[in-house]
């Protein structure tokens, strides 16, 4: 009799435990699905939206170029809509619209931005200085996702309405602090250069899928070409 009553008393306890374990399992599955959906949103859907937005903005810039009066000073192209397009064949990313600023509001639209602070960027047509750019490595267009593929001598080409600016990579820094503003200096000494020149600097987050450090690539201007009526790209892009 006593064993029977004990078994009847333990039955409800087992049922409660089984129910709790079942509920926990369902919660874990739901949490996993939510996290998976968040990853999909962060690493895929934001790319879709950013690429769409960047393509629309880029089309607007090119239409403005076609309808603009004869070219004057290059600085007149420095507008909020974009100053030109970056082409980096080694990154396999197609053209990248470049706009003013490096805040999330700018970069989340799938573009690259040139620095206004903490170190003000030079622009390609300036006689000396460092044209310093940032873009996302993952999500929101991920325009610098393949920055690690760049090697010494690889071309980096910047296109404006009037001019192609052709740079060559000469140095990289695979990891540095996000607070290392020296990499943006007019003469980026961490690159090995000690004299003024016409430099370009690409910056993005590293390691992939984090924003703990920064990955840096430096290039130096080797020549310019005037844009012809057919916008024939320089040899590096053919």
Indicate if the pLDDT at residue 188 is higher than 90: yes
Mean pLDDT of 80-86: 88
Q: In whole numbers, what is the pLDDT of the chain averaged over residues? A: 86
Mean pLDDT of 109-128: 97
- Cβ neighbors of 177 (< 8 A, separation 6 or more) are 213, 214
**What integer pLDDT is reported at residue 8 of this predicted model?**
52
Q: Which helix (H) or strand (E) holds 199?
A: strand 198-206
**What integer pLDDT is reported at residue 73 of this predicted model?**
47
For the question of residue 205 being annotated catalytic, the response is yes
Indicate if the pLDDT at residue 76 is higher than 80: no
Distances (CA, A) of 125 to 11, 116, 131, 212: 82, 16, 9, 32
Domain 49-237 CATH superfamily: Sortase (2.40.260.10)
Strands (E), 115-197: 129-134, 155-159, 163-177
In this predicted model, what pLDDT tens digit does every residue of 155-169 receive, in sequence order? 999 999 999 999 999
Computed from CA positions of residues 212, 46, 121, 130, in that sequence, does the dihedral angle turn out positive or negative? positive
Indicate if the pLDDT at residue 198 is higher than 70: yes
Indicate if the pLDDT at residue 17 is higher than 80: no
* Predicted structure pTM score: 0.81
- Cβ neighbors of 127 (< 8 A, separation 6 or more) are 198
String of DSSP letters for 58-100 = HHHHHHHHHHSPSP--GGGG--TT-SEEEE-GGGT---EEEEE
**Structure-token pair, residue 230:** 């057919």
Q: Which of 214, 185, 72 is nearest to 122 (CA)?
A: 185
**What integer pLDDT is reported at residue 46 of this predicted model?**
81
Check if the beta carbon of residue 104 is closer than 8 Å to that of residue 117: no
Per annotation, catalytic residue among 111, 183, 205, 216:
205
Lowest mean pLDDT among 76-85, 97-106, 178-187, 217-226: 76-85
Task: Using a pLDDT cut of 90, give the percent of the chain over it.
Answer: 67
């Amino acid at each position: 009799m006593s064993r029977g009553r004990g078994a009847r008393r333990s039955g409800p306890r087992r049922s409660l435990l089984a129910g709790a374990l079942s509920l926990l399992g369902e919660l874990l599955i739901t949490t996993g699905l939510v996290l998976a959906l968040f990853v999909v949103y962060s690493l895929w859907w934001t790319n879709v939206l950013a690429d769409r937005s960047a393509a629309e903005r880029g089309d607007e810039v090119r239409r403005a170029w076609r309808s603009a009066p004869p070219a004057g000073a290059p600085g007149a192209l420095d507008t909020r809509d974009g100053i030109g397009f970056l082409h980096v064949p080694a990154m396999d990313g197609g053209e990248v619209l470049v706009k003013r600023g490096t805040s999330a509001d700018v970069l989340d639209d799938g573009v690259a931005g040139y620095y206004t602070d903490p170190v003000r960027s030079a622009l390609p047509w300036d006689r000396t200085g460092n044209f310093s750019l940032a873009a996302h490595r993952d999500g929101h267009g991920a325009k610098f996702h393949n920055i690690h593929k760049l090697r010494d001598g690889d071309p980096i080409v910047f296109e404006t309405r009037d001019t192609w600016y052709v740079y060559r990579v000469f140095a990289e820094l695979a990891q540095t602090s996000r607070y290392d503003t020296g990499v943006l200096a007019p003469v980026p000494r961490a690159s090995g250069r000690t004299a003024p020149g016409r430099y370009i600097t690409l910056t993005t987050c590293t390691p992939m899928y984090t924003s703990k450090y920064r990955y840096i690539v430096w290039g130096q201007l080797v020549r310019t070409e005037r844009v012809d009526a057919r916008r024939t790209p320089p040899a590096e892009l053919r």
